[in-house]
Chain A
């Protein structure tokens, strides 16, 4: 039987996390050995030889105390620095990252691609291209965990989270839900398929019968009746959504807000929360119970595309979206 000792390293960050892990492990082994050895040697060398023996007292040494406080702390600062470097390097995806959308739902992962493919508990990504995953949850907190990528991110209901990676090695890797989410938590597992670029293109071209996410979103935009008020060519009863995404919106209370995913999400689920200047509240009904997270993502991708068609390139680069 094959006994694995380390998980496969299949993302651009996996190796750097591993090196840091080796470093930490080395320090741990050395320190543990020192303590064990000292305890063992002292226990043998200074064992009690007669029942009434009283050793000379040693009360302490300021120099030693300072040494074994400061030196370990300095070593730990190197852990901190190194770990923080990697963590922050993983903070924002590069501008050219491709998008994938994942919805966690008790107890499955629903993945959809801008090109229109949808799958459950399977994720297909090409080698060498940065992938940004937008995470949403239908119900409780889940956590998107790919051990081979050394990455995980919680999926908190009521908001969007993102994570990104660049896969470096073709293969089939575990996808786990790492945050306890109820009965079939351990069944909320799937596979990440890392493919070469041609294989990926090939895979993409099969499927997507329902059209791209933009097309699906456009259909929903009609189905839910959004288009009757949010008219795209003229100012209707509701704000025009063209060029909206990534712009700053003036609100009726004098504040401005950035039109990002979170804003669109809130405006659909809780339309009265932020009212655009010049419009009235209570015009739009809430869609909170009617649109599920998957459809919501399609709508948002569609609304995002409206910004692109108007002014190509004006769409906010990922990662700069939330920047102040």
Chain B
């Protein structure tokens, strides 16, 4: 079993998370066009990493745990990415040639 972060660290992370919630809320009221979603997802990703690394204490976990966490995201990317391949390229009509 491994070291566990201090109360101070936890509270700091919590503060950051709360602030990020307000930031994402505020940013959503500004029209950035296509970038709204990108910013929102980046913030969400950042918050997620904080929760995973500190609250779930993956930072101090074994490489095996890190591997499994990584595998989760890798497979999620496989699912989203490969489905996206179809939808992105559906309107590119080829004219009897491959490329």
B81 contacts the other chain (Cβ, under 8 Å)?
no
CB of A320 within 8 A of CB of B91, answer no
Q: Which residue of A lies closest to B99 (CB)?
A: A88
A84, B92: Cβ atoms under 8 Å? no
The answer, among B93, B96, B97, B98, for a CB contact under 8 Å with A322, is B93
Q: Chain B interface: which size bin?
A: under 10
Residues in B whose Cβ lies below 8 Å from that of A321: 93
The minimal Cβ–Cβ distance linking A249 to chain B, given in whole angstroms, is 16
Residues of B within 8 A of A84 (CB): 98
Q: Does A63 contact B (CB under 8 A)?
A: no
Within B73-96, the residues touching A (CB, 8 Å) are 91-96
Interface size bracket, A side: 10 to 19
Is the CB–CB distance between A89 and B96 below 8 Å? yes
Which chain B residues border A322 with CB–CB below 8 Å? 91, 93
CB of A235 within 8 A of chain B?
Answer: no
Residue numbers in B under 8 Å from A320 (CB-CB): 93, 95
Report whether A88 and B93 are in contact in the complex, using a CB–CB cutoff of 8 Å.
Answer: no
Which residues of chain B from 25 to 47 have any CB-CB distance to chain A below 8 Å in the complex? none
Q: Are B92 and A91 in contact (CB under 8 A)?
A: no
Q: CA of A235 to CA of B10 in the docked complex: distance in angstroms?
A: 66
- Nearest chain B CB to A159 CB, angstrom units: 10
B94 touches A88 (CB 8 A): yes
Is A324 located at the chain interface by the 8 A CB criterion? yes
Q: Nearest Cβ distance between residue A286 and chain B, in whole angstroms?
A: 25
A-side binding surface: helix, strand, loop or mixed? loop
Whether A171 is near chain B, meaning CB under 8 Å from some CB there, is no
A84: nearest residue on chain B (CB-CB)? B98
Question: In the complex the two chains form, what is the Cα distance from A48 to B91 in whole Å?
Answer: 62
Q: Given the complex of chains A and B, what is the CA–CA distance between A321 and B93 in angstroms? A: 8
How far, in whole Å, are A29 and B93 apart by their CA atoms in the complex? 37
- Asked if A85 and B92 make an inter-chain contact with CB atoms under 8 angstroms apart, the answer reads no
Q: Which residue of A lies closest to B98 (CB)?
A: A88
List the B side residues contacting A323 at CB < 8 Å: 92-93, 95
CA distance A319 to B93 in the complex (A): 7
- Choose from A85, A89, A91 the contact partner of B93 (Cβ within 8 Å): A91
Q: Mark A309-324, 1 if CB is under 8 A from B, else 0.
A: 0000000000111111
Q: How far is the CB of A21 from chain B (nearest CB, A)?
A: 20
A91→B98 CA distance, assembly (Å): 10
Least distance between B67 CB and chain A CB atoms (Å): 25
A84 to B93, CA, bound (A): 15
- Which residues on the A side are within 8 Å of B95 (C-beta)? 91-92, 319-320, 323
Contacts of A88 in B (CB 8 A): 94, 96-98
Q: How far is the CB of B43 from chain A (nearest CB, A)?
A: 26
Contact with B along A4-20 (1 / 0, CB 8 A): 00000000000000000
Closest to B95 in A: A92
Of all chain A residues, the one with the shortest Cβ separation from B90 is A322
Q: A91, B91: Cβ atoms under 8 Å?
A: no
Contacts of B92 in A (CB 8 A): 323-324
Question: Smallest CB-CB separation from B93: which chain A residue?
Answer: A322
Are A324 and B91 in contact, CB atoms less than 8 angstroms apart?
Answer: yes
Q: A91 CA to B91 CA in the complex, in Å?
A: 13
Q: Which residues of B contact A319 (CB under 8 A)?
A: 93, 95
Q: Complex: how many Å from CA A324 to CA B91?
A: 7
**Distance to closest chain A CB from B98 (angstroms):** 5
Q: Smallest distance from the beta carbon of A84 to chain B beta carbons, Å?
A: 6
Not counting A92-B94, A92-B96, A320-B93, a sample of 10 additional A-B residue pairs whose C-beta atoms are within 8 angstroms of each other reads: A85-B98, A88-B94, A88-B96, A92-B93, A319-B93, A321-B93, A322-B91, A323-B92, A323-B95, A324-B92
7 contacts across the A-B interface (CB closer than 8 A): A89-B96, A91-B93, A91-B94, A92-B95, A319-B95, A323-B93, A323-B95
Closest 9 CB pairs of A and B: A322-B93, A91-B94, A88-B98, A92-B95, A89-B96, A323-B93, A322-B91, A88-B94, A92-B96
Instruction: List chain A positions with a Cβ less than 8 A from chain B.
Output: 84-85, 88-89, 91-92, 319-324
